[in-house]
Structure 1
């Protein structure tokens, strides 16, 4: 899965849930068309890759059985080697038997362990203007490891393998231990996506087969809203609901950056036909124009560019990844000017150039 594929898949998921904004008017369910994307297969490969990866932090993994965490010493081995580097590895025999008994293996922050999942997480963050993270749940039992509960963040559920039974309270914001009679009651199959708003009670259980799903937790404008509330609290005032444009501008002032490096292009200025180019900021930039110039606010900086670059900057700030050849095909700039822009972006760290 490339950055372009991940971004397209993120757009498909959000469009299937109703729009390209954070789903905010209740529980939503997206069922892909019969000839829909197979991106979930790439994400599933990412799960298996993370399980086989040596050296992952022990804190990325939890094994929950009958509502309690199983001591890691039973199913994980760790040793210190190469100086102070901690090496960890799962113990397959114990893990396999525990999952067969109905335990749930939880992988926290899967985006830190696999590039494919990271690219999807970044794409959703960019589109939702939200801090996001990805947890994975693997089980083969029928009972729920967590019973009825609610979370303090919004979530998108992506079913990757097998079937999972979800019951989600129809009353958004209700933290009741008893679900309403008209609550959503569905079995998710691979490719389906479910939106669960924050503070909404839900129950999840297996169907007796091996099942894997991802939970993308996200908090729209979370950091900006927290800063606003804290600032008003200092002067003893209640924070008003911020204007969306103000929130977007403030988000563009944050220094948060996507994962990736542009060392070669930054030092040499060289890009190849297959070089993958992405906008570097974690959140969309804020762009203003006048008669001659384009001002881009991104990662806490303001970059002033020639107005003739507007179309190409628009292509880059959509959030997906483009190869240099794809950028050439869609841009209206001469090749020399386009190469100069990409080299300038790599040196000044508002573009990520890989490959």
Structure 2
């Protein structure tokens, strides 16, 4: 299992406490709620992601004087043997633009960093929404975006340095100005007016953005609509998907699809769309599916204890899940 996922557990627990909703809700701020150790580890993970750009080069943006710079100005790229892209960040160029007031953005970092993928999957499971994670770095005393409203809800996780967030007078529950320090986590409801200012020091924060499906959480969609919106999570079940005899009580897994459908009241089965077809899952495993959707890794032994199902039966469910594309390995 990826150590990046294990080290991210503290943030995942904090997200549980915020009572996140994709539409509505109130501004909430928890100052320094993450430990220094956890904050430093997370910061290291995302700084490292900038240093190993790879094929994610189109997700790296530098916004300077209100405009996106061309990637050639801050990235070097060459195509090597086997048509593999080798991309690196021009550190000195980035440093120059940061000092001049630019903002460096890693868009949809959840597509490239397992820790961010774990955040995305946790929020989707908690809220029934679509989620994506952005990473922002600034250094100067300036604002890149001015006062604006986003058409989705989001959570801010401050990892390095301080950053000032300014709020419009009509923002309920929020101060006119809030300075976030490392370890602070804040929830902003959809359409909250805000302006973000650097304070002349290196700053990094994550934005965990999420929105519903046409204004609804997944669980409120009609069956046909829910099936079309279901997304398979990145990853695979290998080698367990082709050799279930390798599965034991310590084999970790996570759900391979983004959401768990509703179970009709009184129904003996839960119909789960796996992406390749519909699977009939006994209704008593509904809590197991929700546990697998929420956690970045769960073993049969853990699921057995949490859901009160015999471990032998849980091992059979693990084999069924991997064999039929319902379970994936933890993100690596």
Superposition TM-score tier, normalisation by shorter sequence: 0.7 to 0.9
> Could you tell me how far apart the structure 1 residues matched to 2:175 and 2:170 are?
8
In the alignment, what sits opposite 1:194? 186
Q: Which residue of 2 aligns with 1:276?
A: 252
* Aligned with 1:348 (options 324, 327, 330): 324
- Kindly indicate whether the alpha-carbon contact (under 8 Å) linking 2:128 and 2:218 is maintained by their aligned counterparts in 1: no
The corresponding residue for 2:263 is 287
Of residues 221, 225, 250 in structure 2, which corresponds to 1:247?
A: 221
Q: Structure 1: any 5+ residue segments left out of the alignment?
A: 173-179, 226-241
- Distance in 2, matches of 1:189 and 1:311, equals 37
Larger radius of gyration between Structure 1 and Structure 2: 1
Write out per-residue CA displacement over residues 92-115 of structure 1, whole angstroms, 9 at most, x where no aligned residue: 122222223332211111112211
Compute the displacement of 1:23 (Å).
6.3
Deviation of the 1:338 alpha carbon? 2.2
Kept in 1: contact 2:5–2:114 (CA 8 A): no
**1:125-274, aligned counterparts within 5 Å?**
125-171=124-170, 184-222=176-214, 225=215, 246-247=220-221, 250-251=225-226, 254-269=229-244, 270-274=246-250
- The change in CA–CA distance for 1:82 and 1:246 in structure 2 (over 3 A counts) is same
Match of 1:30 in 2: 30
The gaps in structure 2 that reach 5 residues or longer are none
Report how far residue 50 of structure 1 moved.
Answer: 0.9
Distance 1:38 1:281, change over 3 A: farther
Report the 3-state secondary structure (helix = DSSP H, G, I; strand = E; otherwise coil) of the residue aligned with 2:253: strand
Structure with the bigger RCO (C-alpha within 8 Å, sep 6+) is: 2
Bigger shift: residues 187-196 or 39-48: 39-48
TM-score (normalised: structure 1): 0.79
TM-score (norm 2): 0.84
Superposition RMSD on alpha carbons, in Å? 3.1
2: CA distance between counterparts of 1:193 and 1:23? 19
Q: Per the alignment, in what secondary structure is the counterpart of residue 322 of structure 1? A: coil
Q: Distance in 2 between matches of 1:138 and 1:74?
A: 17
Alpha-carbon distance in structure 1 between the residues aligned to 2:71 and 2:219: 46
